[in-house]
Homo-oligomer: A and B are copies of this chain.
Amino acid sequence: MIDLVKNLATVNRRTKGSVIRELLKITNKPEIISFAGGLPSPETFPVDALAEIAHSAIKNHSRTTLQYGATEGLPELKAQIVKQLREHEGISTTPANILITTASQQALDIVGRTFIDPSDPILVELPSYIGGLQVFKSYGAKLMGVRTDDDGVLVEDLEEKLSKLRQEEEHYKFVYMVPDFQNPAGVTLTAERRNKIIELSERYDVLIIEDSPYREVRFEGEAPEMLYKLDSTHNVISLFTFSKTLAPGLRLGYILADERIIQRMAVLKQSLDLCTSALNQWLAAEFLKSGLARAHVEKVRVLYKTRKDAMLRALEQYMPEGVSWTKPQGGLFLWVRLPETMNADDMFYEAIKQNVAYVIGSAFHCDGGGQNTMRLNFSYPTEEQIDEGIKRLSDVIKANLRHRRRSRSAHLTAR
Contact = CB atoms under 8 A, between A and B. Distances in A.
B249 A69 contact: yes
A-side binding surface: helix, strand, loop or mixed?
helix
A146 interface: no
A68 B280 CA distance: 14
A63 interface: yes
Contact of A8 (B47, B134, B264): B264
A254 to B, nearest CB: 14
A116 B270 contact: no
A39 interface: yes
A186 B276 CA distance: 27
A22 to B, nearest CB: 11
A274 interface: yes
Nearest to A173: B7
B63 A42 contact: yes
B62 A271 contact: no
Contact of A66 (B7, B115, B247, B271): B247
Interface in A168-210: 173, 205-207
Interface of A: 1-4, 7-12, 15-18, 21, 39-40, 42, 45, 47-48, 50-52, 54-59, 62-69, 71, 102-103, 105-106, 109, 113-117, 120, 131, 134-135, 138-139, 173, 205-207, 233-235, 243, 247-251, 258, 260-261, 264, 267-268, 270-280
Given A8-B114, A55-B55, A68-B248, 17 more contacts: A1-B235, A12-B114, A17-B270, A21-B71, A42-B63, A45-B63, A51-B59, A65-B249, A66-B249, A105-B274, A109-B271, A134-B270, A134-B271, A249-B278, A250-B277, A251-B275, A277-B280
